[in-house]
Amino acid sequence: MKEKLQNILLAPLGWALDALAFMPWWWIYFNADCLYYVAYHVVRYRVKIVRRNLATCFPEKGHGELRKIERQFYHQFANLFFETVKLLHISDADIKRHMVFHNVDFIDDGIERGQSVMMYAAHLGNWEWIPSIVLWFRESTRARGNVLGQAYKPLRNKWFDRLFLRLRTRYSQCFPSHQILRTMIRNKMENHHMALGFISDQHPHVTDQGHVIEFMHHPTAMITGTEAIARKLDMRVGYFYMRRHRRGYYDCTLVPMCEHAAAEPEGSITDRYARLLEQNIKECPSMWLWTHDRWKRPVQLPGQQTQSEIETGKSTLV
């Protein structure tokens, strides 16, 4: 009953989003400008978190430069929302003009030689458009069918879950995160090879310590599941390095990280991802998702003492 009521109440929103997706780009960005003003100047959506994150990640930058990045971020945040809506009805030719990929051979070659490929991604630029990379694959790769997949965490709200699945399955398959390994093992047994995209810049689950490293001037716990899957299946591993040339026009380069994940020391792939992501953020600071409270649960680097341990040691000496 509750789900039926949600469907009825949210149906007009679905119609509005569908209609908006048919609108020209100037209208899309007019709406994005309106959303920017409301989110940043009226609602002040997560401004305190964004401001704190920027200040601690870029201690070398002055107040004026940080505020400039902050404003640019909220513009990009609004752009992302409406660019994602546009994905409902954008043509293949149009999205290829707006999202250009380089070094796609990294995936094509891996699949051609019988090796699945793990691609690290991040909440940077327009990550929702990354699945359009299938339009850049060789014909021989595309002819294999179902060659691109992405990890997906189902949303609690069924209506929004269906909407996002509709957006994300236009160019790729979506697998619930907890079924990824099982699905990939089955594919390998059936000699079906594919590229798998993982957004891996969130903090790990509260029960998972993760792999702790220094990242953006913070001791940071990184997700290890992506590396674990790649190592178990001996996948080729790369990173989607994204830049934005101008509003609505992105450039994404596939950066190789390793050829055989199983041969890499444990933790080394995650370390490389963190370094590439940090480089990407520093090059394009306004494009990362700064509203995410990435460091809300402090962690210590290996061998680093906590404040309580330091105080306990002092009291013992006394």
Domain map (residue ranges) of the chain: 2-287
pLDDT of res. 307: 46
State yes or no: pLDDT of 27 exceeds 70.
Answer: yes
Q: What is the mean pLDDT of residues 222-231?
A: 94
State yes or no: pLDDT of 135 exceeds 70.
Answer: yes
- The Cα–Cα gap between 151 and 263 comes to 24
Strands (E), the chain: 99-102, 117-121, 148-152, 173-176, 195-199, 211-215, 218-222, 236-246, 249-258
State yes or no: pLDDT of 221 exceeds 60.
Answer: yes
pLDDT of res. 309: 47
Counting residues of the chain whose pLDDT is more than 70, the rounded percentage is 94
Question: Which residues are within 8 A (CB) of 108 and not within 5 positions of it... i.e. 6 or more apart?
Answer: 137, 138, 140, 141
Please, are residues 120 and 273 in contact by the beta-carbon 8 Å criterion? yes
pTM value?
Answer: 0.91
Question: Which residues are within 8 A (CB) of 66 and not within 5 positions of it... i.e. 6 or more apart?
Answer: 51, 54, 55, 58
Predicted confidence band of residue 304 (pLDDT cuts 50, 70, 90): low
Length of the chain: 318
- Scanning the chain, the segments in alpha helix (DSSP H) are 2-21, 25-36, 47-57, 63-86, 92-98, 105-112, 139-142, 158-168, 180-189, 225-232, 268-283, 307-317
Tell me the backbone φ, ψ of residue 176, rounded to 5 degrees.
Answer: -55, 140
Predicted confidence band of residue 6 (pLDDT cuts 50, 70, 90): confident
Among 62, 14, 58, residue whose Cα is nearest residue 290: 58
Q: Which of 25-29, 139-143, 153-157, 302-306 has the lowest mean pLDDT?
A: 302-306
Q: How many CB atoms lie within 10 A of CB 136?
A: 19
Q: What is the mean pLDDT of residues 299-305?
A: 79
Q: Which of 43-57, 88-102, 210-224, 304-318 has the lowest mean pLDDT?
A: 304-318
pLDDT digits (tens, 9 = 90+) for 233-292: 999 999 999 999 999 999 999 999 999 999 999 999 999 999 999 999 999 999 999 999
Q: 297: which 2 tokens? A: 């649960």
Q: What is the mean pLDDT of the chain?
A: 91
pLDDT of res. 305: 56
pLDDT of res. 105: 97
